[in-house]
Amino acid sequence: MFTLLTVRAARTRIHSQAQRLEELAGQDMLTGLDNRLRFTDIATREAARIHRTGEESSLILMDLDRFKNVNDTYGHPVGDEVLRKAAGVIQSNVRDTDHVARFGGEEFIILLPGTSTDGARVVADKVRHALSECSFGPPTENLHITASFGVASLSYDRDATPDAGCPVEHSSQVDRAYQAADSAMYHAKRNGRNRVEVAPV
């Protein structure tokens, strides 16, 4: 009887630890946001949903401007604090139904279900303004951060529909939207930073 109870307790602990590891596998440890892997899964499911419904959804990709200078000037602990603060600013300026992730380094991505690129541009500009208004305490009171944004549609491209009988590659749809947002973001960088650019549809 004792052995059976011990085995059951061990199984419960293992199951609990497995669940926690699964959660951690999808979480960025520094900011607490979703990581790239979990976000891609969420975005792929959203692509499948809008393929069925015909609704619009959009991606916003953003990159903190000249972030290397922050680390070089103030050190990596301050750089980490800037990333955490940026994550908080983004989350406080989007809806509960939107999804925010740290995509890597100083790059963040936002999925806005049921939102056109015009609507996403408004959201991106709201986040951009909020970031530029961030203030930091001593010894970083002179630190100001800005970001460049690229907006792209996640909506299903009917012209890219595979032949009849072939499955729709929703992950490819997400990849195309990400690439379009990335291109728009770098266009924002080239045009002076601290701005929003929308990818052509």
84-101 pLDDT per residue, tens: 999 999 999 999 999 999
99-104 and 107-112 strand pairing: antiparallel
Per-residue confidence in pLDDT tens, the chain, 201 aa: 556 666 576 677 766 665 566 566 799 999 999 999 999 999 999 999 998 999 999 999 999 999 999 999 999 999 999 999 999 999 999 999 999 999 989 999 999 999 999 999 999 999 999 999 998 888 888 899 999 999 999 985 545 444 444 445 788 899 999 999 999 999 999 999 999 999 997
Domains of the chain listed by start with CATH number: 28-198 (3.30.70.270)
The β-bridge partners of 107 are 63, 104
The predicted pLDDT at position 147 comes to 98
What letter represents residue 154's amino acid?
A: L
> How far, in Å, CA of 97 to CA of 42, rounded?
12
Catalytic residue chosen out of the listed positions 46, 56, 106, 197 = 106
CB atoms within 10 A of CB 179: 14
CA 123 to CA 94: how far, in whole Å? 7
Asked if 126 contacts 160 with a C-beta cutoff of 8 angstroms, the reply is no
Handedness of CA 79, 80, 84, 85 (dihedral sign): negative
Query: Any idea what DSSP says for residue 159?
Result: G
Looking at residue 163, its pLDDT comes to 45
18-30 residue pLDDT tens: 556 656 679 999 9
Bridge partners, residue 104, by sequence: 107
Q: Can you state the angle between helices 67-74 and 76-92, rounded to 10 degrees?
A: 140
Hey, how many other C-beta atoms are within 10 angstroms of the C-beta on 175? 15
* pLDDT at residue number 16: 67
Paired with 149 in beta bridges are 62, 196
Annotation marks residue 106 as catalytic: yes
Burial letters 151-168, b for 16+ CB under 10 A, else e: bbbbbbeeeeeeeeeeee
